[in-house]
Amino acid sequence: MASTWVTGLAPLFDAPRSLLERAHDELIAGNLEDPRLQLVRPLVRDSWGRSIARLVGAEALPPLDLDGAELERYRAEHPLAASLPLIRQLLLPGGAEDAGVVLAVGDASGRLLWVEGDAGVRALVDGMGFSPGANWAEDRAGTAAPGTALALGRTVQIRGAEHFNRLVHPWSCTASPVRDPETRRIIGIIDVTGGDAAVSPQAQLAVDATVRAVEGELLIGRLRAREEVGPRRIGARRSASRRPVALGVLGRDRAVTESTGPVATPPVELGLRHSEILLMLATHPHGLTAERLAELVYGTAAVATLRPEMVRLRRRLERDVPGLRLESRPYRLVGALETDAQHVLALIDRGAHRLALAAYRGDVLPDSQAPGVAELRETLRLTLRDALVAEASVDVLLHYTDSDVGADDVEALRQCLALLPPRSPRRAGLVARLERLESDA
């Protein structure tokens, strides 16, 4: 197995380790005009900037979000759990003992769920907090392949001193997001960490191929499950379960369901609690245990409180939304349901920035304080914003800065100025807004 990770040339990076370390030190010291920063790869330099803005510590261990029974329960429910044998087979084919790298699989929030591989390497990286349950999202751990890949929505390689955290400078890593094969929503991350060989072209090819294989396996498994369930559905229940249902949650205090099939039904407005529950089930199509669903909705494993609500929600769906059916053990929805939030994420993934901005009607259930809803709300807002700033054309960016959600976005305003022609009549207004925002800050 060792030969898998040591063959091939290392990729071309823009600066040697010593220069990167000096540039990193100047950045931490606040010397943003140091010329060495311009020699750092733009991807890394931008990530360093986001890490600074989010007050990430340059020598702090990432937070441990999950451990013990909570970690075990969450791992058992995660959709990538069933794909672990395939991931090990492709990235650790000769066994873990002498692999020379560690393999990490995490969730869409950057929390590592499984860390396996070379025992010696694992012992060393554990000292920097690279362990199951730790959160390696970019806003928690700074620039690193898992978090930065999730932030950008694509494969990322980070080598040595390109890491924001000095504790991680001895290591290099390649990571790629895993997406739901149908909605294209990010559901997890696969990372390989080790020496320079972990950022070789072969490493990126191996990680990318593994992600494609996992997504294919998820889709095949889902299609087979539908084939097995399909013949058992008969009569009116079968036709009702196939009728597409849309769930509107953007810019609404309460979710609204509406049939989008040939047999339309009137819109149905749900109460806030039922809105939160239905949204969590819509974004976890594989189902949730009662304990996990309660945590997402109430913030604690309040199963006794959740169960009566599930009974009431089941009755409401049977009466008013015949296209959906609620099942238990685990709790999951049977029927075609797509939220407008997932639609926006799919548009972003396709690069349809103008359409995504137009479809974004506001925050996800802005009145909700449910932890799962709050996380989705923030994820959608940041995903849209980061995609627009990084990739959108200037006219789309201008629409964004003219909207309520982007009106105070200083970085987006600066990006507009950088993209606009020198004599554009829009520049004066943008400069005035920037000066006002910076003086208020």
How does 69-102 read in b/e, with b if 16+ C-beta sit within 10 Å? eebebbbebbbbeebbeebbebbbeeebeebbbb
- From CA 438, how far away is CA 441, in angstroms rounded? 5
d(C-alpha 301, C-alpha 269), whole Å:
27
Helices (H), 242-326: 272-282, 290-298, 303-320
pTM for this structure? 0.53
Q: Which amino acid is at 425?
A: P
Q: With 0-12 CB in 10 A as exposed, 13-18 as middle and 19+ as buried, what is 148?
A: buried
Distance, CA of 247 to CA of 260 (rounded, Å): 10
Tens digit of pLDDT at every position of the chain (441 positions): 333 554 333 343 555 556 666 666 656 656 666 666 677 888 998 998 899 888 898 888 999 999 898 899 999 989 999 999 999 988 987 766 667 899 999 999 999 999 999 888 999 999 899 999 999 999 999 999 999 999 999 999 999 989 999 999 999 999 999 998 888 889 999 999 999 999 999 999 999 999 999 988 888 887 777 665 555 544 444 444 445 788 999 999 999 988 755 445 678 899 999 999 999 999 888 889 999 999 999 998 889 999 999 999 999 998 888 878 899 889 999 888 889 998 888 888 878 888 888 889 899 999 999 999 999 999 999 999 988 888 888 888 888 888 888 888 899 899 899 888 888 888 898 999 988 988 886
d(CA 51, CA 35): 20
DSSP character string of 49-75? HHHHHTT--SSPPPPB---HHHHHHHH
* Tokens representing residue 155 in the block: 């494969």
Token representation of residue 68? 């013990």
284 Ramachandran zone, left/alpha/beta (phi>0; psi -120 to 50): beta
Secondary structure element (H or E) that encloses residue 256, with its range:
strand 256-259
Structural domain boundaries of the chain?
A: 2-225, 236-339, 393-441
- 115 in Cβ contact with 130 (< 8 Å): yes
CB 276 within 8 A of CB 308: no
Alpha-carbon gap, residue 151 to 97, rounded angstroms: 31
What Cα–Cα distance (Å) separates residue 137 from each residue in 54, 107, 318, 411? 11, 10, 40, 21
DSSP letter string over 173-210? EEEEEEE-TTT--EEEEEEEEESGGGGSHHHHHHHHHH
**What number of H helices and E strands is found in the chain?**
19, 11
Q: Which two tokens stand for residue 222?
A: 């889902």
Provide the 3-class DSSP secondary structure of residue 111.
strand
pLDDT at 237: 46
pLDDT of residue 30: 63
CATH topology of domain 236-339: Arc Repressor Mutant, subunit A (1.10.10)
AA identity, residue 195: G
Rounded CA-CA distance 136/144 in Å is 8
- Neighbouring residues of 245: CB distance < 8 A, sequence distance ≥ 6: 257, 258, 259, 260, 321, 323, 324, 335, 336, 337, 338
Query: How do 256-259 and 245-248 pair as beta strands?
Result: antiparallel
Classify domain 2-225 by CATH architecture.
2-Layer Sandwich (3.30)
pLDDT score for 11: 40
C-alpha 83/C-alpha 68 separation (Å) is 22
CB 116 within 8 A of CB 191: no
- Give CA–CA dist 23/29, Å, rounded: 10
* pLDDT, the chain, mean: 85
Q: Two tokens at 347?
A: 């548009």
Closest CA to 146 of 182, 107, 118: 107
CB atoms within 10 A of CB 65: 18
